[in-house]
Amino acid sequence: MLLHPKKKTVGVRIPDHVVTQALLAELGEPLLSSTLLLPGEEEPMTQGWEIKDLLDHVLDGVVDSGDCGTEPTTVIDFSGGEAEIVRHGAGDTSRFE
Q: Show me where the domains of the chain are located.
A: 18-29+45-91
CA–CA dist 27, 36 (Å, integer) = 22
Strand partners of residue 76: 85
**Given a cut of 60, is residue 1 above it in pLDDT?**
no
- For 21, 52, 53, 72, the CA distances from 56, given in Å and listed in that order, are 24, 5, 6, 26
> Distance between terminal CA atoms of the chain?
30
**Residue 67 corresponds to which amino acid?**
D
- Give me the pLDDT at residue 71, please: 79
Q: For residue 5, is pLDDT > 80?
A: no
Q: Is the pLDDT of residue 4 over 80?
A: no
What is the model's pTM? 0.62
Instruction: Inform me whether the pLDDT recorded for 48 exceeds 60.
Output: yes
